[in-house]
Structure 1
């Protein structure tokens, strides 16, 4: 996984970032829904802030998202929930060349934030006794010829050693083995191609493993596409049907979907852009339309900041899983500090001690943040869209994430200072 170390106050926090080649997921770092307060636009900063009725007028958050846009991104949508209520805002533009702001209820590709949904589905089946955490995956999917040492737990914790089909892998001996293109002109030209989950897994299985199952940890999209196939095999229904029945409908997540091969973002949305080289020339493509069957079960979903808030709050407050499984989900494992579909990070006492999160990013254009306290009482959910600026997207996204974490979990907003 592409990572960077950032500091929050005096503590070091490991933040997963956008990867230009999507060797892991993409950008870096959601609760029970309350209705967003009506917004009013401020003409000078192009930021939407809540009305006084929300009681959440935080200039530091307005300033933070504007500075993210000023660093070279096209737009930001931000939603913060805490014990006092909700703050919602946006900055930048919905589409390059236009003045309209990103809609605060806009849909966006959430990338690897999808993994938290997939892990939750698997754990619900574990709770029902239909899947064993330490059972060999090969016992459920014998047709794939998997190493029988690989267990369900290893998929969820990224300890299977399976090759990452999206982007490729660099092995410990320095050898780089390419995967399915997830960056550059090759991805841009191929971004409407349809892949089948089994096709992705078989491609990964045709490459040598990173390590023997259970002996190390390496982030791989293959693990969660396999989890999708596991869900479908055990239930006899599609991943999308199970997600609707078990999570989306019960929580009222009407703006969250599994698009499959559909390429358009439904409803209001901001446009995302991807900068790439073609014959030595830099070009920019609008990638708001793309086919994310490339990341089935691992990074293909669409959602909103409100729905991500509702989901992560419900999950962490115990509405979706029994206590013992939720405890395992929130327990960091291995060198990545990864639980079951969640990163667990120590941010020090000045920032509340611990945060849990799963970032996400489509191969180009979109990043998602879903960050929470372990009990779901405070959340930060956001979408950041790339523009046409010549910036190091991964580095700048890391800085943006760091700034928002500091403001929400460590700053005046965190301390409740008005």
Structure 2
């Protein structure tokens, strides 16, 4: 179901994004200085059912923003270019950046096993942390089962009755990993690729083990502070989204029809270091631009991050360490990540030189694909 695949980003979201991008290719045109194609794609998403959209981009002509639709279905308040929103799996790039900084400092190695730092945490039903390296966590070649695919978790957190009963529950990282360990791994470590949010929950636990501080503290100290990303936060168990912000909407069902529910308030510990962060489009663009320009990682670690593996069935997307390389229909490569969580679908991408970025958000999880917007902006 779409709401499940949108929780913190998934292979399904990647596949549909690529297909949507291919469908848009026939009409994609270079934006020139006016970005008219990008604006049209944003409006088209709203006309197709997204309540509201917001996007910010920067290129050689400068920074610009556009919005469409509403941020609040009850009041009719429009979306704002400054809106903060839950970014879902875009969190993964921040987590990977911190781990690569720690590697650059000699405090861990990408070839360290999970068991070296977290003995016994990844074990059970065939999982073996002694065979899974940090690198395999970050590029999703570990084979660890994705806890969000667990049926009980899905009923509790993605469907209407369960969501409204449990939206404010606090889940510890250990709880999320334990759910995954009830299942067999997807494959032997290093033999295939499968998107697993559990990988990044474990990655967040690794940061805490190595540094003695939470992954949130390390992101704030190493990334948010130096880049002055004042609209970005790691909320932990805080259930609200800071203002300015709109509302977030979901069907909370296995279909894309039926009533629409306001799901703005929730405890994001269910996503943890796989997808709990909040940001806005301008901050996300600055983050990915700085990352690609070497402002956060030394050259060797940035090269590691951009060393990608194949994603079966998605020919135009490859996955690095918390970073996706997408080849658009016009041949341009953009680097970044998609992200989804209840009521929120986001994407942030930049060219390899960091000079042209786009970040966008739809306040819905059952409709709206970022790919056509990205195609219009970069092609």
Fold shared, TM-score > 0.5 on shorter chain: yes
What per-residue deviation string (whole Å, max 9, x for no partner) do you get for residues 76-125 of structure 1?
Answer: 01111111111111110120033321111111000011000001011111
Q: Pairwise mapping of residues 295-306 of structure 1 onto structure 2 (< 5 A)?
A: 295-306=271-282
Range that drifts further, 183-192 or 257-266: 183-192
Q: Pairwise mapping of residues 170-189 of structure 1 onto structure 2 (< 5 A)?
A: 179-180=153-154, 181-185=156-160, 186-189=162-165
Q: Pairwise mapping of residues 11-160 of structure 1 onto structure 2 (< 5 A)?
A: 19-22=3-6, 25=9, 57-144=34-121, 146=123, 147=128, 148-160=130-142
The equivalent of 1:368 in structure 2 is 346
Shift of 1:72: 0.3
Shift of 1:166: 1.2
What per-residue deviation string (whole Å, max 9, x for no partner) do you get for residues 277-300 of structure 1?
Answer: 59xx94322111111101111000
Query: 8 Å contact 1:19–1:25 — kept in the other structure?
Result: no
1:359 pairs, out of 313, 338, 343, with 338
* Structure 2 residue 214 is matched with structure 1 residue 235: no
Q: Could you say which structure has the higher helix fraction?
A: 2
Cα pair distance change 1:155/1:162, threshold 3 Å: same
Aligned length: 347
How far apart, CA to CA, are the structure 1 residues paired with 2:274 and 2:104?
21
Structure with the greater alpha carbon radius of gyration:
1
Local SS of the residue matching 2:252? strand
1:244 pairs, out of 202, 220, 223, with 220
How far apart, CA to CA, are the structure 1 residues paired with 2:148 and 2:326?
25
2:368 pairs, out of 397, 403, 411, with 397
How far apart, CA to CA, are the structure 1 residues paired with 2:247 and 2:262?
7
Shift of 1:402: 2.7
Runs of 4+ in 1 over 6 A off after TM superposition: none
How far apart, CA to CA, are the structure 2 residues paired with 1:121 and 1:328?
13
How far apart, CA to CA, are the structure 2 residues paired with 1:361 and 1:19?
9
Q: Could you say which structure has the higher strand fraction?
A: 1
Q: Pairwise mapping of residues 311-390 of structure 1 onto structure 2 (< 5 A)?
A: 311-335=287-311, 337-347=318-328, 350-352=330-332, 354-362=333-341, 364-386=342-364
TM-score (norm 1): 0.78
Query: 8 Å contact 2:114–2:122 — kept in the other structure?
Result: no
Query: 8 Å contact 1:22–1:183 — kept in the other structure?
Result: no
Shift of 1:376: 1.1
Local SS of the residue matching 2:260? strand
- When the two chains are superposed, the root-mean-square deviation of aligned CA atoms in Å is 2.2
Shift of 1:302: 0.4
How far apart, CA to CA, are the structure 2 residues paired with 1:141 and 1:190?
29
2:147 pairs, out of 153, 165, 171, with 165
Query: 8 Å contact 1:91–1:102 — kept in the other structure?
Result: yes
Cα pair distance change 1:87/1:73, threshold 3 Å: same
Local SS of the residue matching 2:145? coil
TM-score (norm 2): 0.86
Query: 8 Å contact 1:56–1:87 — kept in the other structure?
Result: no
How far apart, CA to CA, are the structure 2 residues paired with 1:101 and 1:276?
23
How far apart, CA to CA, are the structure 1 residues paired with 2:225 and 2:8?
29
How far apart, CA to CA, are the structure 2 residues paired with 1:88 and 1:379?
12
Local SS of the residue matching 2:110? coil
Local SS of the residue matching 2:251? strand
Query: 8 Å contact 1:232–1:238 — kept in the other structure?
Result: yes
Cα pair distance change 1:219/1:58, threshold 3 Å: closer
Local SS of the residue matching 1:382? strand
- Flag structure 1 segments of 5+ consecutive residues without an equivalent: 3-17, 30-54, 169-176, 388-392, 411-418
Query: 8 Å contact 1:23–1:164 — kept in the other structure?
Result: no
* Structure 2 residue 183 is matched with structure 1 residue 202: no
